[in-house]
Structure 1
Amino acid sequence: MELMLSEYYGIDWLAMILTFSAIYFIGNRNRIGLILMMVGNICWATVGFQAESTAMILANAAFLMMNIRAVYKWSSPDTEGA
C-alpha cells in the first residue's frame, strides 16, 4: 500500500500525528502536549486555508487560544484551589 500525500502536502498527516501525540502527552499531564497541540492547531488551520474552510480556520484559531490559556494556567500557581 502506497502512502499518498494529498493536495495538502502532508500537512494534514502532520496535524493528525501532532494532535494524537498531544492528547497522549496531555493525558500524562505533560505540558509538551499543549505545545504539540498548538502546532497541530496551526497545521489544521493551514489545511483549512488550503481547503477554503472558514469553519476549520476559526475552530483551530479558537482551539489555539484555549491552548495558550492552558499553558498560562498550567504555569501559574493554583491560588484559588479550582
Structure 2
Amino acid sequence: MDIFLNYYGLDWLAMALSLLALWLIGNKNRAGFAAFVLANVTWMVVGVWLMQSAGIVLGNGVFLAMNVRGYLNWKTPPAHGNVI
C-alpha cells in the first residue's frame, strides 16, 4: 500500500488534475487550461522536493507556459460561423 503514497498523494492529485483538464478541454471548456496549470505546478513540486528530477521540473515548466498561452489565446467560436 505504501507504493500509492510514496509522494504523499501529490502524484495522484497531479494525475487527476491532468485528466480533468483533458476532459474539460475536450468539452471545449477554457477552464481546462487552468486545471492543467494546477497540475503542472503540482508536478513541479513533486519533481523538485520529492523526486529531485530536473526533467519533470523543466518539462512541466514548458507545459505550464503552453497552458497559460492556450488560456490567453482561447476564443469562443462564433454562434453562427460559416462552415467550409
Q: Same fold (TM over 0.5)?
A: yes
Residues 54, 2 of structure 1: CA spacing in aligned structure 2 closer, same or farther, 3 A cutoff? closer
| Identical-residue share of aligned pairs (%) | 41
Deviation per CA, 1:21-45: give whole Å up to 9, x if none: 1000000110111100000000111
TM-score, normalization: structure 2? Answer: 0.81
Q: Judging changes above 3 Å, is the alpha-carbon distance between structure 1 residues 3 and 65 closer, same or farther for their aligned structure 2 residues?
A: same
User: Could you say what secondary structure the match of 1:62 adopts?
Assistant: helix
Taking only aligned residues, the RMSD between alpha carbons, in angstroms, comes to 2.1
Determine the C-alpha separation between the residues in 2 that align with 1:55 and 1:42: 14
- Offset of 1:68 from its aligned partner? 0.6
Q: 1:47/1:2 Cα in 2 relative to 1: closer, same or farther (>3 Å)?
A: closer
C-alpha distance in 2, partners of 1:3/1:47? 15
Runs of 4+, deviation exceeding 3 Å: 1-4
Please list every run of 5 or more consecutive structure 1 residues that lacks an aligned counterpart in the other structure: 77-82
Query: Normalising by structure 1, what TM-score?
Result: 0.83
Higher CA-based Rg = 2
